[in-house]
Chain A
Amino acid sequence: MKVGVQINERELELEVATNSTLIDLLREDLGLRGTVEGCGVGVCGSCTVLVDGRPVSSCLVLAADVDGRVVTTIEGLGRNGALDPVQEAFLEHQAFQCGYCTAGMIMAVKGLLAENPRPSAAEAKDYLSGNICRCGTYEEVLGAVATAAASSDGGGD
């Protein structure tokens, strides 16, 4: 079936199978391999992308359901060759070890800061509790959130 969708600021008209999920569309049809699948059932968070600015598990979204939506993946962050402030903060804090959860974690943090530009540590923990890091870099991730929140100009203080 036909799907009209904006992905990383590109307007696309795509033909998708009904049984194709959003992560299939991203990785297989568009070659956007930054989004990775972990559990495939919405528990781990590694496939997190933003749909209309809100984080979702791309393994559970039917490709047909992004018709008319705006999708942002890890490849859509950053401008003119510069990394996004959240990516910079993850590098600064070394908020990863093996890196498998990182793209999903960063997209979840983007969702968090869009809703709540100055989250408390408790709010950040609560929001990110469904993004699982096998290497246990949670403290570094929370540090990166604080740095990214402080560096963003959206906070107004």
Chain B
Amino acid sequence: MQPFELLQPRTLEDALDRLADDEEARPLAGGTALVVLMKHALLRPERLVNLKRIPALQGIDWSSETGLRIGALTTIREVEQHQAVRTWFPALAEACHVVANVRIRNLATLGGNLAHADYQSDPPAMLIALGARVRIRSVSGEREEPLETFLVSGYQTTLEPGELVTDILVPPPTAGRRMQYLKFTTRSAEDRPCVGVAVSLGLEGTACRDLRVVVGAVSSTPVRVAEGEELATGKVLTPDLIDEIAGRAASAVDPIGDVRGSPEYKRRLVQVLVRRSLLGSVTEVSA
């Protein structure tokens, strides 16, 4: 790694000032992506702003009125193990549990994961299925945005220079909501996903009130299967209807071929996994 200056702000305001002063300065969160990119000289920042000592970016709060607030510097492991996450968003706990290995999850942060916007990742698809938003701050103010639009493309977000993700916000789940995250790996158990499917299903009796199906790791950003979601609204999710939604999911994605699978293979997997996760969601006993 080339030498760099490391700034260690203790407050969010100080960090935002530092980032505003120098547009080339890079925020440092868990470092599991940035340090690797710097070791390989793919990035050569001269100045890093270390966010680890800022209390305002830490921690998880839960309220049944407002939902979850996850500080951007919360580690993936903390999210996975947090009692409120496990109780109210078991599929989010699962999507965090299956990230890489325990050593990485002890370092990597949820805010860093989202801001890095690597398409081969598990949490983003699940968070989009749950309707998560990101809160963003800069010296000039604060804004909130749905994660769905925040992620623009592979490694691209709507973050402007000087802006920082400070919190991830997840609305409270409706009663009896079913959710699932299904990860498929082609190389080893702890590999990045070849395909990840996130489902969040609200029921009215036995019929679907609202459904979100999001396919992660296949296209440059997670893909919402909007056509399939609309098909489901107001209907009982029969095996035939689930097959139809799975077909729409396979048509909705634009798979990137990589070492984890060819575009054709991934498209087929999307169909299988969407079907599997929807069947799982309708047969699961309600919480």
Residues of chain A whose beta carbon lies under 8 Å from any beta carbon of chain B = 1, 17-19, 21, 40-43, 45, 48, 51, 54-57, 60-62, 64-65, 108, 111, 126-127, 129-131
* Given A130-B100, A130-B101, A130-B102, A60-B107 contact (CB < 8 Å): yes
A60 with B35, Cβ < 8 A, contacts A18-B6, A130-B101 known: yes
Complex A-B: 15 CB contacts under 8 Å = A19-B1, A19-B3, A21-B1, A42-B32, A42-B36, A42-B103, A56-B103, A57-B107, A60-B31, A60-B36, A60-B104, A111-B102, A126-B189, A129-B190, A130-B103
Kindly list chain A residues whose C-beta atoms are within 8 Å of the C-beta of B140: none
Cβ < 8 Å to A, chain B residues 1-59: 1-6, 8, 28, 31-32, 35-36, 38-39, 48, 50, 52
* A64 x B106 contact (CB < 8 A): no
Report whether A57 and B39 are in contact in the complex, using a CB–CB cutoff of 8 Å: no
Q: Is the CB of A42 within 8 A of B106?
A: no
Specify which chain B residues have a CB less than 8 angstroms from the CB of A62 in the assembled complex.
6, 28, 31, 35
Are the CB atoms of B3 and A130 closer together than 8 Å? no
The contact of B103 among A17, A40, A57, A65, by CB within 8 Å, is: A57
| Contacting pair B104 A42 (CB below 8 A) | yes
Partner of B50, one of A60, A64, A127: A64
CA distance A51 to B31 in the complex (A): 15
Further contacts, 16 of them, CB under 8 A, given A43-B100, A61-B107, A62-B31: A18-B3, A21-B1, A21-B35, A40-B39, A55-B103, A57-B32, A60-B104, A62-B28, A62-B35, A64-B6, A65-B50, A108-B103, A129-B101, A129-B189, A130-B100, A131-B101
Shortest CB-to-CB span from B113 to chain A, Å, is 14
Interface pair B104/A57, CB less than 8 Å apart: yes
Contact call B101/A19, Cβ cutoff below 8 A = no
Contact between B4 and A18 (Cβ–Cβ < 8 Å)? Answer: yes
Which A residues are CB-close (under 8 A) to B5?
A: 18
- Residues from chain B with Cβ under 8 Å of A51 in the complex: 106
B40 nearest CB across to chain A (Å): 8
In the complex, chain A residues whose CB is within 8 Å of the CB of B52: 65
Measured between beta carbons, the chain B residues less than 8 angstroms from A54 are 77, 106
Complex CA gap A17/B6 in Å reads 10
Which of chain B's residues have a CB closer than 8 A to the CB of A48?
103
In-complex Cβ contact of B36 among A41, A61, A65 (8 A): A41
